[in-house]
């Protein structure tokens, strides 16, 4: 099968590209490299440096004729979405509609869309959140990502386009960018390995659902290959881990000898969120396979070597 992967040079998207290629699929990557890295590109994949909002995206579809689309490309900075909600919607809604129209015109069979379980639900009414939980995002990022889920439903009703939505938890692991806006594991790891001070936003007791990137890539493979895959699925381990706990685990793995300092909380962030992944387990047999401590060790080793921290 030939799959077009948007954001395939990014942290998670590049792992998805790798697992698709490992399982014998052809892959076409579309990425503007605004946050992705050329070093993440799999040499076995075709690559187009292109923004998903660009009308030239249709030319890529006409040339490559993909069977399926995996849509990872996004504006994913919560703080930027609060500061620039118009930009966030331009990329995540209008850019995604441009992609969707290309998929419709060129008769793509299935579209796998990466949404966010950490931001669409808002402050949870109950935990862990399942897919039936009310949608009440408290940041523009969560609102824009959820908006496109409605477009997918409409396009299935009108045009018969098959789709799968994967609502991600907090994903961590090798290739995550430790600079700027990134997951807390990558940021803390980069700071610890270079002997910098670590600042925790808020009191550190905010809880998140952390899943290793390899497990998320495997869910994308199941969503592609399993004909039973349909509709919306949460990914997650079903339990919360605090930022303070992440700091302690990383401190031990790195051998860091400093204590954190605490700063103001980030606007638009949910206090406690973890996800019920029972539906994808029942339909596709997916569950996280790597415990947090093992995943952190693998992540730290990657940053020690590949990133050459320090």
pTM over 0.85: yes
From the list 122, 222, 234, the residue with the least C-alpha distance to 169 is 234
Residues 273-286 have pLDDT tens digits of: 999 999 999 999 99
Judge whether 141 counts as a catalytic residue.
Answer: yes
Cα separation values, 138 from 16, 42, 50, Å: 29, 36, 30
**Which residue among 48, 113, 141, 233 is the active-site one?**
141
Spatial distance between the Cα atoms of 251 and 233, rounded to a whole number of angstroms: 33
What is the residue extent of each domain of the chain? 2-171+210-234, 181-208+240-274+291-305
Residues 21-70 have pLDDT tens digits of: 999 999 999 999 999 999 999 999 999 999 999 999 999 999 999 999 99
CATH class of this structure's domain 2-171+210-234:
alpha beta
**What average pLDDT does range 151-164 have in this prediction?**
98
Strand partners, 232: 165
Backbone angles phi, psi at 167, to 5 degrees: -90, 110
From the list 169, 172, 165, the residue with the least C-alpha distance to 236 is 169
pLDDT at 310 (0 to 100) = 41
pLDDT grade for 255, boundaries at 50, 70 and 90:
very high
pLDDT at 24 (0 to 100) = 98
In this structure, whether the domain defined by 181-208+240-274+291-305 belongs to CATH 3.90.25.10 is answered with yes
pLDDT grade for 78, boundaries at 50, 70 and 90:
confident
Residues 221-230 have pLDDT tens digits of: 999 999 999 9
């Amino acid at each position: 099968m030939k799959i077009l992967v948007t954001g395939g040079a990014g942290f998670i998207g590049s792992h998805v590209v790798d697992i698709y290629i490992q399982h014998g699929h052809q892959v076409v990557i579309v990425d503007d490299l605004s946050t992705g890295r050329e070093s993440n590109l799999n040499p076995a994949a075709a690559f187009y440096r292109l923004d998903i909002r660009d009308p030239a995206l249709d030319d890529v579809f006409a040339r490559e004729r993909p069977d399926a689309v995996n849509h990872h490309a996004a504006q994913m900075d919560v703080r930027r979405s609060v500061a620039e909600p118009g930009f966030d919607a331009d990329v995540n809604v209008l850019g995604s509609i441009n992609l969707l129209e290309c998929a419709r015109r060129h008769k793509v069979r299935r579209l796998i869309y990466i949404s966010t379980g950490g931001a669409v639900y808002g402050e949870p009414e109950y935990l862990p959140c399942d897919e039936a939980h009310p949608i009440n995002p408290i940041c523009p990022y969560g609102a824009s990502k959820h908006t496109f889920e409605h477009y997918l439903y409409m396009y299935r009703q009108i045009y018969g386009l098959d789709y799968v939505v994967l609502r991600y938890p907090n994903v961590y692991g090798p290739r995550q960018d430790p600079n700027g806006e990134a997951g807390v594991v990558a940021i803390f790891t980069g700071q610890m390995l270079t002997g910098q001070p670590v600042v925790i936003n808020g009191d550190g007791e905010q809880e998140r659902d952390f899943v290793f990137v390899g497990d998320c890539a495997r869910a994308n493979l199941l969503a592609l290959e399993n004909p039973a895959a349909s509709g919306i699925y949460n990914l997650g381990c079903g339990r919360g881990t605090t930022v303070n706990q992440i700091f302690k685990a990383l401190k031990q793995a790195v051998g860091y000898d400093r204590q954190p300092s605490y700063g103001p909380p980030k606007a638009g962030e949910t206090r406690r969120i973890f996800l019920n992944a029972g539906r994808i387990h029942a339909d596709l047999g997916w569950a996280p396979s790597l415990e947090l401590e093992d995943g952190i060790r693998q992540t730290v080793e990657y940053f020690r070597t590949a990133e050459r921290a320090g």
